[in-house]
């Protein structure tokens, strides 16, 4: 659990300076180490909204699962700078902003605040989903996916976004349980197809996941892997990076060097890589450079304790 969280935050921080950089430019000068400044003119180790919302999720789950509390904590981030790396929000997705503004300005419930248009299928829910998986990993598949869908819907309530988060959750759970990454991918596909196909609202979304569900994503050449902010692109890219690399460091660098939405691809791929490979090959300097490292450490320890306690309760 610790490795997954830290690997995700490191991936975010690696991607922040080069976010929106086209892949062909990164091919000429690829990211090989933790950098500073760049797109947002922030110091080395600065992380973005991906980590902020992940940390907000962890902090809320420490006190138990409550969708309304999650929504309020997300609002604290967006409107008060809570769990930001620099004290200010410098990167926020439009779908997330609109959803959280409904909660703050209109008093809308966090269970009803999510945007539901087809254009609202960015990766803004996917990037913060790892703590929810870690907290509910001992639940049965139906319960796990219900919780994933509920928390995704705070901002992204379209069925495609919820389903994308669900596929990621299944993959992360299999890795957390110690399943080999290739087998974890195969099992994820089988579980996702079995769960979503009988549900009419999700069955209509199945064609969008065809490349993942074909069990052949790993064999695609890099030029066929997209790395935009669209949830399907981020999900495909993250699984592709994991399956085609052999360590966390290699996975993170592969993800960031795909270009465009580098911080989120780094965060999502990093979570999977940390579960699969751990942190042994991650340079200490990368970890030590993370903004607010001491505060992160405290939050991670409290969250992991809460998640393990939750898992033990379910087992008993």
- pLDDT score, position 138: 96
List CB contacts of 73: < 8 A, sequence separation 6 or more: 56, 57, 59, 60, 82
- pLDDT score, position 180: 97
What CATH number corresponds to the domain at position 76? 1.10.4080.10
> 114 vs 125, 151, 155, 196, 215, CA distance in Å?
10, 10, 4, 20, 31
pLDDT at 141 over 80: yes
What are the tokens at 273?
């890589």
pLDDT digits (tens, 9 = 90+) for 193-230: 999 999 999 989 999 999 999 999 999 999 999 999 99
- pLDDT score, position 241: 98
pLDDT at 158 over 90: yes
Q: Map tokens 């196909």 to a residue.
A: 197
What are the tokens at 140?
């049965």
Q: Please, are residues 260 and 230 in contact by the beta-carbon 8 Å criterion?
A: no
Q: Please, are residues 44 and 34 in contact by the beta-carbon 8 Å criterion?
A: yes
Q: Residue 314 — pLDDT band, cuts 50, 70, 90?
A: confident
List CB contacts of 56: < 8 A, sequence separation 6 or more: 70, 73, 74, 76, 77, 82, 83, 128
Domain count, the chain: 1
Select from 126, 2, 131, 133 the least CA-distant residue to 56. 131
What are the tokens at 104?
């703050």
Structural domain including 41 reads: 2-315
């Amino acid at each position: 659990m610790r490795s997954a969280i830290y690997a995700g935050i490191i991936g975010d921080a690696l991607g922040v300076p080069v976010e929106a950089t086209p892949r062909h430019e990164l091919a000429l000068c690829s990211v090989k180490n933790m950098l500073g400044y760049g797109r947002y003119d922030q110091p080395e180790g600065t992380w973005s909204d991906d980590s902020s919302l992940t940390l907000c999720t962890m902090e809320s789950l420490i006190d138990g699962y409550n969708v309304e509390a999650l929504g309020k904590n997300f609002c604290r981030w967006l409107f008060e700078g809570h769990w930001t790396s620099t004290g200010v929000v410098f990167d926020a997705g439009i779908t997330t902003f609109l959803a959280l503004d409904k909660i703050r300005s209109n008093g809308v419930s966090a269970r009803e605040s999510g945007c539901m248009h087809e254009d609202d299928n960015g990766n803004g829910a996917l990037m913060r989903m790892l703590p929810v998986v870690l907290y509910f990993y001992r639940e049965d598949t139906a319960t796990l996916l219900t919780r994933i869908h509920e928390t995704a819907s705070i901002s992204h309530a379209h069925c495609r976004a919820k389903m994308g988060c669900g596929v990621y959750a299944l993959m992360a759970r299999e890795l957390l349980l110690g399943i080999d990454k290739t087998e974890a991918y195969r099992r994820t596909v089988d579980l996702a197809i079995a769960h979503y196909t009988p549900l009419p609202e999700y069955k209509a979304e199945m064609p969008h996941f065809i490349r993942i569900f074909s069990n052949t994503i790993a064999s695609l050449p890099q030029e066929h892997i997209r790395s935009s902010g669209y949830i399907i692109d981020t999900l495909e890219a993250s699984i592709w990076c994991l399956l085609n690399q052999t360590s966390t460091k290699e996975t993170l660098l592969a993800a960031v060097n795909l270009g465009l939405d580098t911080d989120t691809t780094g965060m999502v791929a990093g979570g999977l890589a940390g579960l699969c490979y751990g942190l042994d090959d991650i340079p200490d300097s990368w970890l030590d450079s993370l903004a607010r490292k001491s505060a992160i450490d405290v939050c991670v320890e409290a969250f992991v304790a809460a998640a393990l306690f939750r898992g033990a309760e379910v087992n008993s």
